[in-house]
Amino acid sequence: MKKVLDLNLGFSDAQTYLQRSNKQMFSEIFVKNYYLEDLLKPNIYFLIGEKGTGKTAYATYLTNNEYKQNKSFLKFICGTDYEKFYELKRTGKIDISGYADIWQCIILLITAKSIANDNKLVESFSRSRITDLLKAIDEYYNKAFSPEIINALKIVDQSGYAATLISKHAEVGAKQDNTTEFTEQKMQMNLYYISQQFSSCLNKIKLNKNINIFIDGIDVRPSQIPFDEYLNCIKGLLTSCWILNTELFANTKDSKGKIKIILLLRPDIYNALNVQNSTNKLLDNSVYLEWRTTYSDYYSSALYQMAQKLLSYDQPDICTTDIWEKYFNWNTYLRNGRTSSNNAFKEFLKISLSRPRDIQIILKLLQVNMKQKGNHNDSTFDYHTYISDKFQNDYSEYFLSSLKDQLSFYYSEDDYQYFKKFFDFFTGPQFSFTKYQEAYNQYADYILEHATNIPPYIEKPESFLQFLYDSNVVAAVEENGRFFHFSYREKSPTNISPEVPYDINMNYKFHYGLYKKTRLGRY
């Protein structure tokens, strides 16, 4: 086998696998399970999963590979896209309903351009109409348009001019009543006309394959945009995608392939959107990524399979069966004077949230720490490196940074810094319900004394404990540690926001991944 320092352990950001040089590796290490098959079903419009569970990875794999007659495109929303929406709303050019109108126009435009760029996707006799419309877009963008959201959004600036061009070019392919006058003051009417032209075209187009448009980046809120405004913008995106999927694309006739838009969302964000018939949509129209497993069943889990594939990548001609066990022989080491009863994978499950990214990061951090210690020739991962203060600090820092990214959707940088002060009111990782109430009161007094703006999560002890539970910072402990209730282990499509047990007889425990950087000890 390769030495530990020679292993290629991949990338934690799945976007990197979109690069040509990394596509082959990703195809070899990607775990093709039933989630992949379910994503291709015609009724699936949402890919739901916690941060680090692989939402972008699934979209990337399908974008890199034409899988089972499916051609996929991954589109990213960036901060400047949201700024444009916010500026239009702030200046009174659109109301809340205008968000959906703009999104619908954008999605239709990038879908049409993505399809037209590939000659193999559209039957030749049905191409002329879409070609005529895209000639207008080429004229508008001086032939510099690429099918990305940030480019399509520019059409809002001169919607009247764009609508005029589309009207002119549409006459070439079909009879048009060219009596409509387009002005920049009628932006929503212009966008409606543009959307109607592309809707009519896409409804009649004959596709040779299914087309999936994945939209990612929804869980990153620019700090300068107020939370409520951002949420309204996302609601507009969800509304427009739902209408296009169910009323336009699903009803295309006489076409071998269908078009489908799939939104990548975290469960908490989906819940915050207050979607109508939320539970039904989760059950009927979503793929919910869940990798959790147990100590007794981990060997047959998809998470363990992913780890095996990662270690097996680019190995010489050897048997890679149980390669994890070959790289990790930790049961032979003593821990606190006794032989460890947990093997390496169980250890990793304990300090992680059972996410693919967590396992990959643990492996990479171990590799880096072994390199820094000079373990250049080791053919197995070093147990003493894992229990070292250096590694535990590094992993705890990663765990906190992931938590910060998650909370940044709702809260400011100052809110997060004040949140971290809560750990200062504890001397250990386990605490009773009474201890929690005492710590909360002390913490609330500190916030009232020091904070200029009171963070919303501090309102009352019940809601703050729920906030800690939702963030997987604490677990509820029953029967002296026999049962641990973490939010990520309780969540499901029918219980997307589980409630924390709040009771005088309950005990609680901070997550192992937080220990070192929050001065709660070692795990």
Per-residue pLDDT, 72: 96
Per-residue pLDDT, 487: 95
* Residue 59 and residue 289 in contact, taking contact as beta carbons nearer than 8 Å: no
Per-residue pLDDT, 118: 79
- Residues of the chain below pLDDT 50: 172-174
Per-residue pLDDT, 329: 86
Question: How far is it, in rounded angstroms, from Cα 264 to Cα 214?
Answer: 7
CA neighbor of 241 nearest in space, from 357, 393, 77 = 77
Per-residue pLDDT, 253: 84
Tokens representing 92 are: 């009174």
Per-residue pLDDT, 44: 97
AA letter at 5: L
Per-residue pLDDT, 15: 93
Q: How many CB atoms lie within 10 A of CB 185?
A: 10
Strand spans (E) along 146-277 = 210-216, 259-265
Per-residue pLDDT, 167: 87
Strand order in the sheet with 259-265: 70-76, 210-216, 259-265, 46-48, 286-288
Partners of 215 in the β-ladder: 75, 263
Please provide the distance, in angstroms rounded to a whole number, between the alpha carbons at the two ends of the chain: 30
Q: Is 72 helix (H, G, I), strand (E, B) or coil?
A: strand
The whole-angstrom distance between residue 252's C-alpha and the CA centroid of its chain comes to 29
Strand spans (E) along 416-461 = 430-432
Half-sphere exposure of 486 (CA within 13 A, CB side): 18
For the chain, the residue count is 523
Q: How many CB atoms lie within 10 A of CB 267?
A: 24
Residue with tokens 């005529």: 132
- What's the helix, strand, coil split of the chain in %, to 5? 55, 10, 35
Tokens representing 307 are: 């780890």
Question: How far is it, in rounded angstroms, from Cα 10 to Cα 21?
Answer: 12
Question: How far is it, in rounded angstroms, from Cα 104 to Cα 192?
Answer: 9
**Torsion, Cα of 52, 79, 215, 233 (10° steps):** 110
Half-sphere exposure of 495 (CA within 13 A, CB side): 10
Per-residue pLDDT, 169: 80
Per-residue pLDDT, 336: 57
pTM exceeding the 0.85 threshold for the entire prediction: yes
Per-residue pLDDT, 511: 94
- Using alpha carbons, list the distances in angstroms from residue 158 to 80, 255, 405: 18, 34, 35
